[in-house]
Structure 1
Amino acid sequence: MHRFPIRVYYEDTDMGGVVYYANYLRFIERARSDWVRRLGNDQNAMRLDGLIWVVQRLEADYRVPARFDDELQVETEVLKVSPARLIMGQRVMRDGTEIFRAKVTVACVSTEGRPQRLPAEIRALS
C-alpha cells in the first residue's frame, strides 16, 4: 500500500472552510502520480514515447468532510491489473478515519487516444 501525505490549504476549501468536493480528485491524482513515480515509471518519458495515462472510470464516496489545515493521508492499493487496465482503491484518511474513498480505473492510451498495453512494471503487479 502506498501512502501519500496531503495538507489542506485555504485554496482547497470552500467559503465554509470545508474541502471543495472536486479537490479530493486532485488529492488522489497526486497520490497516484507519486505511486507511479516510486515504481520507476517515468510519465514524461512515457509521453515522449507516445503513451499517456488516462482515468477511464471513477466511483467516489464522500464520508466525512476535511477542513482547512487538516493533515490527510491518501492510501493507494492495486485491486486488479489486466494487460490494458489498472484498478486501484484509494482512501483519504484523517487520524485513522476514512473521509473519502474512490475506486479508479486507469488505462494507457497513445497520444492519439488509442488503447495501449500497460507498462511492464505495472503489469507485473498482478
Structure 2
Amino acid sequence: MNKSAFRWPITIYYEDTDAGGVVYHSNYLKFFERARTELLRHHGVSQKVLLEKSVGFVVKNVTMDFIQGARLDEQLIVETFITEIKRVSLTFCQLLVNFEGKVLCKATVKVACIDNAKMKPTAIPLFILSEISCDR
C-alpha cells in the first residue's frame, strides 16, 4: 500500500440520497471516481491533459463493500490508495470514512489505460507513471 492516502472531502447532498436520506448505492461509484480524478489532478495529470494526449482510463473491475450507509448532510472523506501499478492498469483501494475514521464503504477499483482514438488498451504513459509513482 502507499505510504499515505490521498484524502478528498465530500458532503452528502439531497441529489446523492434516496427518499430515506441515505446515499443511493450507485452514488458511491461517483464519489470514488471523483476522488481518483482529484488524485491524478493533485499529481499534475488533469482530465484536460489526458484528453489532449488521447489517453483515458476505463474501469475494468469494481468490488465494493457497503458497511454503513452515509446520510444526508454528512461530511465525509474519500481515502484513495494506489495499490498496484502495471503496464496497462492501476488498482486503487478506496475508503469512504467519516471524521471519526469509521469506514462506511470500501472499494477496490481496477482501471485500464486506453488510447482514446483507438479505444484499445495502451501502456500507461511515462508522464503519468512518473507523477503517481512518487507516493509509493
Coarse TM-score class (shorter-chain normalised): over 0.9
Which residue does 2:60 correspond to in 1? 56
Counterpart of 1:80 in structure 2 is 84
Give aligned pairs, total: 126
* TM-score, normalization by structure 1: 0.94
Query: How far did 1:110 drift?
Result: 1.3
How high is the sequence identity, in percent, across the aligned residues? 37
- Is the Cα contact below 8 Å between 1:39 and 1:121 reproduced in 2? no
CA distance in 2, matches of 1:97, 1:58: 21
> Which consecutive segments of 4 or more residues in structure 1 shift more than 3 A?
none
1:27-38 aligned at under 5 Å gives the runs 27-38=31-42
Q: Which runs of 5+ in 1 are unaligned?
A: none
**Does structure 1 retain, via aligned residues, the 8 Å contact 2:37–2:46?**
no
Unaligned runs of 5+ in 2: none
TM-score with structure 2 setting the length? 0.87
1:2 aligned residue: 6
Contact 1:83 1:123 in 2 (8 A): no
Separation in 2, partners of 1:27, 1:43:
16
CA distance in 2, matches of 1:98, 1:32: 18
Q: 2:129 aligns with which of 110, 123, 126?
A: 123
Aligned residue in 1 for 2:102: 97
Partner residue, 2:70: 66
